[in-house]
Each structure stands twice: as structure tokens, then as C-alpha cells.
Structure 1
């Protein structure tokens, strides 16, 4: 039996289904259906990664280091595997992960010995995070943000739109460009917040300033952006200077729990936005997050939170989206089911006025980012190295599928702080902001 045949048989026996892939191993042998996506195992180190870390993380490590690859469209390969897993589980009513039995462990060990794959644990890829300290302490949050967002401003300029919006766009039609979708999203956020010239706004998790700069430039508001990333803060202030917005834009290099040090006072802020930052707030800390928003808003002030969520039936022990995302992309991220997030916002005394699901928009946004990455692959590798570039290729492909298949969602949640007499000042219909944004 060839290397490829033996490996494919072992994997299929372990997970209990036939995989719609073709496998090619380092000796040139192949097994599996013709015409299927081809998974290439380039060397024995790929197997050692999986032996030492069975499952998603071991496979990711092998892929990131180039020991394992997929020929052709990576997304189609992952989609075919997910479809096969779903069909098999639906057929036998199984909802959990495959259970590895002692017989399969023995078979895997024997095959690894025969293939010469047994050996020391391979070095972990340099692209992995290695956080220490207390979960969601200010120091650890800073390290988590720095791991992802301080990678390279030049790299992010390669893949994002000119607004530098690193969040789901608002794709009014499938034909709109990435820049048009992000501009529509920014208008939508500003209209929902009811921004008017002279207002004071706080942008928590302001990133590269897409909303901060847009609101200041197009709606005339005074914006305090909040970030933990030095590179992001410097980037936004440079763009503000270029556009003559220094008098309306301030970016504070602080944790959201330290807003008072940025000159933000209780009940003085007209509008607060948090665009895909709430996922980085720990489960226990989210209460502090929503209570802080309530405290800083004026009566009648609005908050818009655009936030990713996980499905209600997702495993509770993987709130960050799985081993790959939690290790390489967003360490300590904590996504909640949407109903839980809504409950926490309401419990802080904020009245929820609108929830707009944007799940189907995100695959279109991510597909545009992925296309930009592929179009600029050599430049990306030069900027961040091949390991990190492969991390991003896998991240964007898998992320798009997670939203496409409803394993993850994203929503815009609009809430208001009513006055003591219950006055909200909100328009009577969401058409007020939807017609203007489009």
C-alpha cells in the first residue's frame, strides 16, 4: 500500500467518513477520487505536527510552515470537507467530534513508524501568539492587540480598502466594490448614530481610523479614538494631519477602562461606536464595557456596536472561534451568541432600538481582502514573511466560510440611553438612516 493510500485510509477510518479529497504524499503517491481538491503532504514533518497536536491546530501548523498545502482553490477544498462532515453527521445523527478509539491510535502509531514520521515535536511557527499573564489584564490585552494589529501598516494597506476599514462592509448589491461597500457601511454607522456637526463621539477600538476620520471629515463631529496599538494611533494621527482634521480628531493610546484619562467625562458624549472590538472584551469584562458606555453617554446619546458572534450551538469551550484563530489571529477573543450580547447591553440600562444582521455581507468583504492578498502575494511575503502570509491566506479563507455557513455572524446593534423620562430622540423608522446610507 502506498503512503498516500495508507494515510487516507487511516484518516477516513478515524473520522468515520469518506473524504472528497485527493491526497499526494512526499513520495509522489496519490490516493482519493480524481478531480477532487488535492491535499499535498510535502514531508514527514507535516505528520509530526499532527501527531503532536492532533486536529485543527496540528494541521494549521503544517500548513503555515509549508509542509502541507492544497492545490487549486483552498476555499473549495475546505468547503468540500465541511460538506462531507455535515452530511455524515446528518446521516447518523452525530453532533459531536469524531471519537478516536484505542485501535485507531495504535494504527496511527504503527503507520507513523513505518513512514518514518515519529520524532521530536517540530518547532512551532514563529507566527503563533505566546501570551502570558492574567487573562484580560491591561498588559495582556495590549500584547494580544499588538500580536495582530501591529503586524505592518503597509501590509494592511495592501489588503484593505482606502478607508482602511478592517470590518464587514455593507454590500448593497454584489456588484459594489470593496471601497464602495466600506463607504456605505461608514455612512450607515454615522446615520444610525445621528451625527451632527459639533457633536462629541468616542470610537472604541478605532483601528486605522476608518470611522474616526470619516465621521470627523464628513459629519463634522469631534472624535476621540481609542486603541491599544501604537502603530494604529500614529497612522490615524498622520492621516488626520494630512486632511487638516487635527482639531477634530484625537486618538488615545489607552484601554477602554481608562477613558477618563483621555478627557472623556460622565454623561458628556453624544455618540459611541465600537466596530468589531467587543469580541476582544472578555466575557466577565463585557459588563464593565457596557456600563462604561452607559455612563459616558448623554441622555439621548446613541451607541452602535458592530460585533461578531458565534452560533448558539457552537462549542462553549471555543469562544474565540477555534484553535487556529485563537492561536494565530485573535488570542483571547471571546465571541458570544447574539442573544447574550443583547442581554448584557440591555442590562446596562441601554435601550436596544435596532439589530441589523450582516452575516451575508462578510464573505463578500473577506473575498475582496483575499483577492487583494493574492494579487499582492510577493509584496505581502516581503513585508511580513511567508509564514504570516500563509496564516492570512488560511485565516481569510476559513473566516469567509464560517460566515457563509452560519457558524459565525456579525450584527450592528443600535442602542440609546433614554432620559430619566424615557425620551430617546430616535427617529420613528429605520428608513431614516437606511435610505440615506444607500
Structure 2
């Protein structure tokens, strides 16, 4: 047997799954499906990563360090793998998960000796997050956000649209550009919130200010934004000054629990937006999050929460999205089933008025980000290094597939704080939002 055939046979036995791939080892030998995507083990160090950390995280470590690769379209390769896993799990729900039995251990040990894989754990990629402190403390939340969002404003400008919107766009018409879809999303949010000149709006998790700046410039509202990323805060304040919006835009480096220190008084806010920030709020802390929104809103004030979700089964397994996402992209993220999120919002005294599923929009958005990354690959590598650029390539492709295959969802939730007599000041139909 060749090196490639030995490795592929062992992998299929451990996973109890026929892998629809062509495997090429570092010595040039090949085995497997001649029509499948070609998985290349460039260095035997990739196997040491997987031996030390079996499963998704070990494979991710090998990939981001360049020891493991896929020739051709990475998305097609991952899609083929997921299809094989789904098919196998129809017969056996445990298929596709590493199960090391005695016979596997003996064969793995033999291969480890044969290919000189015995040794110390390979160096863990520098791009992994290593957080300390109490879960969802202010300090740890700030570190988690900084890990991802303080990477480089110049890097994000390469990937995102000119609005710097880092969330799903609204692809309401086929063929929209990324900028058109993001601009449509921003208008949709502003209409859902019923924004009018002079209103006061709160943007929780304001990012690079896509909504903050857009609402101030196009709808004439006064916006208070909060973020835990210093890079984002500085970026928004600079853009606000350049556009002459400093008198309508204030962005603070604060935790959502500390909005009072940002000058936000109870019952004074006309509209609250939180765009894909709620996933970073811990499960227990989400009660504080929704109660804070209710407290700051005036009677008749609206809230629009755009938030990613996971099914009950997926949350029970990995609420953060899996080992790769939780280690490299969004440590401490916790995605809830949509129904649970709606219950928490309602329990805070907010009346749910509309829910719009946008799951199919996200793959289109992410595909445009991925195209931007590939088109600017050399610049991206110069800005953040090849390891981090490979992290992002894997993240964008894998994330897009998660939405495409309904393993993750994203929804826009509109709620209102009714008056004590039940008056909501809401339009009779949400169709006005799409006008």
C-alpha cells in the first residue's frame, strides 16, 4: 500500500465513513476517488496536528499553517464532505465523528512510527484565541471582541463593502452588488425602526459604523453607538468627522451593561438596533441585554435585532458554531435557537411585531466577501500574514456553507415597547418597510 492509501483507509475506518476525496500525500502518492476534490497533505506535520487534536480543530490547525490544503474550490471540497457525512448519518447518527478503537490505535501507532510522527505537539497557530478570566466578564468580552475585530481596519476594508457592514446584506433582487445589498439592508433597518429626523437612536455593537453613520446621514437621527473594539471606535469617529456628522454621532468604548455611563438615560431612546452582536452576549447574560433595551426605550420605541441562530440540536453540541469558529473567530459566542431568543425578548416586556428570516441572503453576502479576499490576497497577506489570511479563507467558505445548508440561520426581529395602555405606534402592516 502507498502512503496515501494507508492514511485514507485509517481515516475512513476511524470516521466510519467513505470519504469522497482524492488524497495526495507529501511523497506524491495518491488514493481515493479520482473524481473527488484533492486533499493534499503537504507536510507530515499535518498528521501530528490531527493526532494531537483529533477532529475539526486538528484539521483546522493543519490547514491554517499550510500543511494541509485542498486543490481547486475549497467550498466544493467542504460541500462534498458535508454531503457524505449527512448521507452516512441517515444510517448511523454517529458517523463522521472520530471514534478511536483499539484496532485503530494499533494501526495509528504503526503509521506514526513508520512515518516518524512521534514527537512533541506541533506549535499551535498564533492566530488562535487564548482568553482568560470569568466567562462574559467585561474584561473577557473585550478581549474576545478585540481578537477578531481589532485585526486591522485596512484588512476589513479589503473585504467589506464601502459601508463597512460586517453582517448579512439584503439581496432582495437577483444580481445585486455587495454594496447595493448592504445599502438595502441599512435602509430596511431604518424603516423598520421608523426613524425620523431628530430621533435618538442607540446602536449596540456599532462595529465600523455602517448603521450608525447611515442613520445619522440619511435619516437625520442622533446616534449613540457602543463597541468593545478600540479600532472600530476610532474608525467611526474619524468617518463621522470627515462626513460632518460629529454633532449627530457619538461612539463609546463601552460594554452594553454600561450604557448609562455613555449618557443614555432610562426611557429616552426612540430606537435601538443591535446587528449581529447578540450572538456575543452569553446565554445567561441575554436577560440583562433585553432588559436593558426595554429600560432605555421610551414607550412606543422600537428595537431591531439582527441575530444569527442555531437549531436546538446544534446548540446542544456547539453553541458557538464548532471548534474552529470558537477557537479562531468568535471565542465565547453563543447562538441560540430563534424561538429561545424571541422568548427572552418577550419576557423583557417587549412586544414581538415582526420576524424576517434572512438565512439565504448570507451565502450571497459571504461569497462577495470571499471574492474580495481572493482578489486582494497578496495585500491581505501583507496586512495580517498568510496564516491569518488562510484562517479567513476557511472561515468564509465554512460559514457560507453553514447558512446554505441550514446549520445556521439569521433573522431580523422587530419589537416595540408598548405604553402602559398598550399603544404601540406601529404601522398596521410591515409592507411599508419594503416600500
Whether these two folds match at TM > 0.5 is yes
Q: Structure 1 pair 364/384, CA: closer, same or farther in 2 (3 Å)? A: same
User: Corresponding residue for 1:296?
Assistant: 296
Alignment map for 1:153-302 (pairs within 5 Å): 153-302=153-302
Q: Single out whichever of 397-406 and 314-323 deviates more from structure 2.
A: 314-323
Whether 1:34 and 2:34 are equivalent positions in the alignment is yes
Deviation for aligned residue 1:98 = 4.8
Q: Distance in 1 between matches of 2:93 and 2:326?
A: 29
CA positional deviation for 1:107: 1.6
The answer to whether structure 1 residue 415 and structure 2 residue 432 are counterparts is no
Cα deviation digits, residues 8-58 of structure 1 (max 9, x gap):
000111111211100001111000111211000011110000000000000
Q: Cα–Cα, structure 1 residues 152 and 16, in superposed 2: closer, same or farther, change >3 Å?
A: same
Cα distance in 2 between the residues matched to 1:95 and 1:22: 20
C-alpha deviation, 1:365, in angstroms: 0.2
Determine the structure 2 residue equivalent to 1:128: 128
Shift of 1:317: 4.1
Secondary structure of residue in 2 paired with 1:327: helix
Shift of 1:95: 7.2
- Written as runs of structure 1 = structure 2, the 5 A alignment for 1:80-99 is 80-92=80-92, 94=94, 97-99=97-99
Structure 1 segment 35-74 matched on structure 2, within 5 A: 35-74=35-74
| Structure 1 unaligned blocks of 5 or more | none
1:356 is paired with a residue of what secondary structure?
strand
Do the aligned partners of residues 172 and 136 (structure 1) sit closer, same or farther apart at CA in structure 2, a change above 3 Å counting? same
The answer (yes or no) to whether the contact 2:55–2:97 under 8 Å persists in 1 is: no
Work out the CA distance in 2 between the residues paired with 1:317 and 1:351: 31
Distance, in Å, in 1 between the alignment partners of 2:193 and 2:105 is: 56
- Distance between the aligned counterparts of 2:270 and 2:395, measured in 1? 36
Mapped to 1, the partners of 2:321 and 2:426 lie a distance apart of 35
Aligned residue number for residue 322 of structure 1: 322
The CA distance in 2 between the partners of 1:95 and 1:73, in whole Å, is 25
Work out the number of aligned pairs and report it.
435
Corresponding residue SS for 2:161: coil
Q: Name 1:381's counterpart in structure 2.
A: 381
Between the aligned partners of 1:31 and 1:188, the Cα distance in structure 2 is 51
Q: How far apart, CA to CA, are the structure 1 residues paired with 2:58 and 2:140? A: 25
SS in 2 for 1:121: coil
Q: 2:434 maps to what in 1? A: 434
> 2: distance between equivalents of 1:106 and 1:275?
50
Say which is worse superposed, 263-272 or 96-105, in terms of deviation.
96-105
SS in 1 for 2:17: coil
Does the CA contact (< 8 Å) of 2:52 and 2:58 recur in 1? yes
The answer on whether the counterparts of 2:45 and 2:67 sit within 8 Å (CA) in structure 1 is yes
1:96 CA drift (Å): 8.0
- Give the stretch that moved more between structures: 38-47 or 315-324: 315-324
SS at match of 1:316: helix
Distance in 1 (alpha carbons) for counterparts of 2:117 and 2:349: 58
Alpha-carbon spacing, 1:94–1:326, altered in 2? closer, same or farther (3 Å): closer
TM-score by length of 1: 0.98
After superposing the two structures, state which structure 1 stretch, 84-93 or 204-213, moved more.
Answer: 84-93
SS, match of residue 313 in structure 1: helix
Give 1:93 shift. 5.4
Q: How big is the alpha-carbon RMSD for the aligned residues of Structure 1 and Structure 2?
A: 1.0
In structure 2, C-alpha distance between the alignment counterparts of 1:350 and 1:107, rounded to whole Å = 59
Q: Distance between the aligned counterparts of 1:315 and 1:89, measured in 2?
A: 18
Residues of 2 paired with 1:120 and 1:70: CA distance? 26
Give secondary structure in 2 for the equivalent of 1:173: coil
Deviation (angstroms), 1:422: 0.3
Q: Deviations over 1:237-294 (max 9, x none)?
A: 1100111001100001100000001110000000000000000000110000000000
Displacement after TM superposition at 1:305 (Å): 0.3
1:392 corresponds to which residue?
A: 392
**CA separation in 2, counterparts of 1:419 and 1:93?**
50
